[in-house]
Amino acid sequence: MKITSVVNKIQSNIKTCNRTRPLGKDSVCFSKISKFIPIQFEKQNDINSCMDFIAKKLKIPCFLFEEKDLDALNFVSESLVESYNLTKGKIKKPKMIFPDFADIFPSNSSCAVIKTNKIPPFGSGLLSKLKSFVLLKFSNNTLIINTEYFKSINKMIDEFMEISKKEKYLNVLNENLVLGDKFKNNKASSDFIAMLNKYCKDKNSLSIKEKQTIVSNLVEINNLSAMPFSSPYVLTNKILNLQKEKGLITGDEINRVLDNLKDKPRSKQIELCNDIIKKYNYKFELNKQSPYADIFHELGHLEDKVSRAPSVDMFDYDKSKYPLELKKWLEESNIDNQIANSVSAYSGYGPGEFIAEVYKNNLSGIELDDMVLNLYNSIKGPKLPL
Ligand SMILES: [Zn+2]
């Protein structure tokens, strides 16, 4: 598609948008489709039909996708339809959808939202040419899809498993290889193992949706495995309260342990947490993970007006550049940071990521514990949809 026609298309869409809702600094054009009627997802056979489907049904314009992006965009379309139906339309929508043609995002990130109207310096490439026209003015709240991610998703799953297990997954029939004996044997974990076995037998027999389910689960397994190290105080609190429900420990005893633990250095907390895990033979519980997790996360940023998402120049996590709020968040003694880390490793990067991750879990149907909800409310996270 020629740049001029892209620009014209964007401008005409912006005009349409302006007619229905004034475009404020942080506003999202298509925040609600006035009357809720469930949308039936329809997989499309060519890229133009796919972009038309999203534009027509979800009222979100898509630009610059090519035929080779069809599987990825169909999956995004399905994710957005699912989000819309789940929340009965009570969510903010991305203003536009672009592929990541300027290679902004890391290869292991499937999508992202643009935070501000300021376009970072990309060097050469189509986006640089476009920015002087339109993007500079209108790109905030745009969803960027990393189509390369979807093309290399097999490689990612393979690498993930090799990294996390330090062994090839040749025999995942032995589920301990993936989940380890630290995990409870529940429905979510047996479903996950079944899908992983299917993947190992024939990678091509799985849809993107199924592969994304595998990725979501692998991420979560890593999160849970990291908890004794990233959130020792919070995990100890959780384990002890479970024992209280069983009548094995009193509230006073819990308070005594926690008070003692609170001011200890992280290394000491980790040691004590591991003792508690062993003492009570605690097993982690894998929750059912959604294939749409990444899109749910980005919708969380949109709902938070993207204000607390890290900007592109912070993707290298140069902590010296962080504003005070983020620096405080990362302090080792900060219990809020531990609470965030108990949701996911990514939540630990800052309040914006924590909000997006909590939002994602809510949309995925995962129950949130009180500590997490209290923190979410205390930093004024947007109203949770479910
Ligand atoms: Zn994020």
**Does residue 288 belong to any structural domain of this protein?**
no
Give the pLDDT confidence score for residue 228 in this predicted structure: 93
Per-residue pLDDT, averaged over 20-40, amounts to 54
**Does residue 17 belong to any structural domain of this protein?**
yes
- Looking at the structure, tell me whether residues 97 and 207 fall in a common domain: no
- Is 176 a residue whose pLDDT tops 90? no
Using CA atoms in the order 70, 43, 114, 150, what is the torsion angle rounded to 10 degrees?
-50
Least confident of 35-39, 255-259, 283-287, 313-317: 313-317
- Looking at the structure, tell me whether residues 9 and 129 fall in a common domain: yes
Q: How far is the CA of 309 from the centre of ligand 1 (A)?
A: 6
Give the pLDDT confidence score for residue 317 in this predicted structure: 54
- Looking at the structure, tell me whether residues 8 and 134 fall in a common domain: yes
Q: Which of 91, 66, 64, 67 is nearest to 79 (CA)?
A: 91
**Does residue 53 belong to any structural domain of this protein?**
yes
**Does residue 92 belong to any structural domain of this protein?**
yes
- Looking at the structure, tell me whether residues 172 and 36 fall in a common domain: no
Per-residue pLDDT, averaged over 90-106, amounts to 80
Average pLDDT, the chain: 80
- Is 350 a residue whose pLDDT tops 70? yes
Cα separations in angstroms, 37 against 62, 91, 231: 22, 14, 42
Q: How far is the CA of 230 from the centre of ligand 1 (A)?
A: 19
Q: How far is the CA of 5 from the centre of ligand 1 (A)?
A: 31
- Looking at the structure, tell me whether residues 137 and 9 fall in a common domain: yes
Q: How far is the CA of 264 from the centre of ligand 1 (A)?
A: 31
- Is 313 a residue whose pLDDT tops 60? no
Q: How far is the CA of 109 from the centre of ligand 1 (A)?
A: 10
Q: How far is the CA of 356 from the centre of ligand 1 (A)?
A: 6
Give the pLDDT confidence score for residue 319 in this predicted structure: 66
**Contact between 364 and 297 (Cβ < 8 Å):** no
Give the pLDDT confidence score for residue 222 in this predicted structure: 85
Q: How far is the CA of 341 from the centre of ligand 1 (A)?
A: 14
Per-residue pLDDT, averaged over 196-201, amounts to 86
- Looking at the structure, tell me whether residues 80 and 106 fall in a common domain: yes
- Looking at the structure, tell me whether residues 21 and 143 fall in a common domain: yes
The proportion of the chain whose per-residue pLDDT surpasses 90, expressed as a percent, equals: 47
Indicate the residue among 150, 175, 204 that finishes a domain.
Answer: 150
Q: How far is the CA of 289 from the centre of ligand 1 (A)?
A: 17
How many folded domains does the chain comprise? 3
Q: How far is the CA of 244 from the centre of ligand 1 (A)?
A: 35
pLDDT tens per residue across span 51-72:
999 999 999 999 889 999 999 9
Indicate if the alpha-carbon torsion angle 310, 316, 317, 320 is positive or negative.
Answer: negative
Q: How far is the CA of 78 from the centre of ligand 1 (A)?
A: 20
Domain of residue 177, residue span: 152-226
Q: How far is the CA of 113 from the centre of ligand 1 (A)?
A: 8
**Does residue 278 belong to any structural domain of this protein?**
no
Q: How far is the CA of 38 from the centre of ligand 1 (A)?
A: 27
Indicate if the alpha-carbon torsion angle 89, 91, 96, 100 is positive or negative.
Answer: negative
Write down how long the chain is: 386
**Does residue 285 belong to any structural domain of this protein?**
no
**Does residue 260 belong to any structural domain of this protein?**
no
Q: How far is the CA of 158 from the centre of ligand 1 (A)?
A: 24
Can you read off the two tokens belonging to residue 336?
């809020």
Give the pLDDT confidence score for residue 34 in this predicted structure: 62
- Looking at the structure, tell me whether residues 86 and 51 fall in a common domain: yes
- Looking at the structure, tell me whether residues 168 and 135 fall in a common domain: no
- Looking at the structure, tell me whether residues 171 and 198 fall in a common domain: yes
**Contact between 42 and 53 (Cβ < 8 Å):** yes
Q: How far is the CA of 332 from the centre of ligand 1 (A)?
A: 21
- Looking at the structure, tell me whether residues 25 and 64 fall in a common domain: yes
Ligand 1 ion local residues (Cβ < 5 A): 353, 356
Cα separations in angstroms, 343 against 118, 143, 200, 307: 31, 24, 29, 20
Q: How far is the CA of 334 from the centre of ligand 1 (A)?
A: 21
Indicate the residue among 226, 250, 270 that finishes a domain.
Answer: 226
- Is 358 a residue whose pLDDT tops 90? yes
> E strands of the chain, at which residues?
97-99, 111-113, 143-145
Q: How far is the CA of 50 from the centre of ligand 1 (A)?
A: 26
Q: How far is the CA of 297 from the centre of ligand 1 (A)?
A: 6
**Does residue 369 belong to any structural domain of this protein?**
yes
Indicate the residue among 226, 253, 279 that finishes a domain.
Answer: 226
Can you read off the two tokens belonging to residue 73?
């965009």
pLDDT tens per residue across span 81-92:
999 999 988 888
Give the pLDDT confidence score for residue 256 in this predicted structure: 94
- Is 238 a residue whose pLDDT tops 80? yes
Cα separations in angstroms, 226 against 54, 158, 230, 258, 294: 38, 20, 6, 20, 20
- Looking at the structure, tell me whether residues 126 and 156 fall in a common domain: no
